[in-house]
A and B are shown apart, each in its own frame.
Chain A
Amino acid sequence: MLGGFFWGLAVVAVAAALLCVTRRSPVASALWLVVTMFALAGLYLLLDAQFVAIIQILVYAGAIMVLFLFVIMVLNIGHRPSDLRGWVGRGVAVLLGAGIFLQLGVIFWAIRSGGFGQQTVAFPLPAGELQRMQEAQGAVGMIAGPLFRQYLIPFEITSVLLLAAIVGAVVLAKRKL
C-alpha cells in the first residue's frame, strides 16, 4: 500500500520534471514544476515529514512558483521561438545528466550498503523512530526542538539573509531609487 503510493508519486514527480525541462513555453514549464513540487510534498508525507510537506506546498508551490509565473508574465516571453539548444547541445545535456545520475547512483548505493571502503555510515535510529517521536511530540514539536536549540544561530542568520535578499531585490528591480 505504502509502496504503491510511493511509486505513483515518484512516477508523477519524474514525468512532470521531464515535461518541465522539455516544454517550449515557460508558463507550461512552470506549471509542470508545480506538479513536481506537489508530488514531492506527497513523498515527504510518506517519509514521515508532514510539516515539511505542508511548508513545501506553501512556500515552493505557493510563493516561489507564483513569483516565477509573475515574472514570466510581466516579461511576456510566452510566445518566442523555442529556446532549446541544437542537437549537439541536447546530446551533451543528456550525456552529462546520465553521467551525474550514474555517479549519484553509485554514491547512494554505497550509502545504502554501509559506506565507502574504510569509512562506514552509521544508521543509529531504529525503523519507525521518527513516527514514534511524532506521536510523542507532534509533527511541529519534533522539528521545533532542534530548530530553536541546536540550530538557533543559523535560524537567526537566515532572517538576516532574507532581509538582505529583500533589499537586494528592491534595489535591482526598481528603475529609479
Chain B
Amino acid sequence: MLLGPALGVSALLFAIGVGGVLLRRNAIVIFMCVELMLNAVNLSFIALAQQLGVEGQVIVFFVMAVAAAEAAVGLAVILAVYRHQDSVNLQDLNLLRG
C-alpha cells in the first residue's frame, strides 16, 4: 500500500509551497507556490480515494476548476497592478501603509 508514503510526499510538497510563499517577493512566483500547495492537497485526496471511495477523485476535479478560475483572475489582477505600479514585487505595493 502506498497510502503512507503518498501522504508524506503530499505533506512535504505542501510545506515547500508554504516556505515558497514566505520566501519570495515576486507576486507571480508566490502564485505558483499556491498552485504547488493545491497540487499537494490533490495528491492526498487521490491517495485517500484508494481506500475511502472514488469521491476523492471527483473532488480533485473541483479543486482543479477552482484553481483554473483563481489563476485567471489572479493573473489579471497582477497585470492590472503591474500597469499601475510598474512592478510585481510585493515590497513596492505599500499604498495602504500609514
On A, residues with C-beta under 8 Å from B are 2-3, 6-7, 10, 13-14, 17-18, 20-22, 26, 29-30, 33, 36-37, 40, 43-44, 46-49, 51-52, 55-56, 59-60, 63-64, 67-68, 71-72, 74-75, 77, 80, 83-85, 89-90, 92-94, 96-98, 100-101, 104-105, 108, 111-112, 123-125, 127, 130, 133, 142-143, 145-147, 150-151, 154-155, 158, 161-162, 164-166, 168-170, 172-173, 175
Contact = CB atoms under 8 A, between A and B. Distances in A.
Given A47-B6, A108-B8, A161 B19 contact: no
A113 B4 CA distance: 10
B73 A36 contact: no
Contact of B88 (A18, A75, A85): A75
Interface residues of B, number: 71
B23 A112 contact: no
B65 A161 contact: yes
Interface of B: 1-20, 22-26, 28-29, 31-33, 35-36, 39, 42-44, 46-55, 57-58, 60-62, 64-73, 75-80, 82-83, 88-89
